[in-house]
Amino acid sequence: MLNASNINFLAYHRGVNQEGQFFALFVIVVAAAEAAVGLAIILKVYKHFKTIDLDKIAEIKD
């Protein structure tokens, strides 16, 4: 999310063309969708493993 917002800022402004603005809008939308799904995954992992410390989550299938 952090680098999504930074890349958004750096590259997608309307320098000469108008398309950069729309591209930035869609990047915001995609980042929002990604954040929602990512947090759902984190919640599920927490419910299962009771921790979100990645070093303690060692097995794929128990």
Partner 1 sequence: MTELVFYFFASTAIISALFILITKHVLHAALALVVILLSVAALYVFAQAEFVAVTQIMIYVGGIVVLIVFGVMLTNDISGRINMKSLNRLSGGLIALVLFTLLIYGVQYLPMGVSGQKGAIPMEVLGELLLTTYLLPFEIAAVLLLLALIAAAVIAGHNLRSEKI
Residues near partner 1 (CB under 8 A) are 1-2, 5-6, 8-10, 13-16, 18, 20-22, 24-26, 28-37, 39-44, 46-47, 51-52
DSSP three-state, residue 36: helix
Tell which phi-psi region holds residue 51, choosing left (phi > 0), alpha (psi between -120 and 50) or beta.
beta
Are 31 and 9 spatial neighbours (Cβ–Cβ below 8 Å)? no
By C-beta, is 51 or 60 nearer to partner 1?
51
By C-beta, is 27 or 61 nearer to partner 1?
27
By C-beta, is 2 or 58 nearer to partner 1?
2
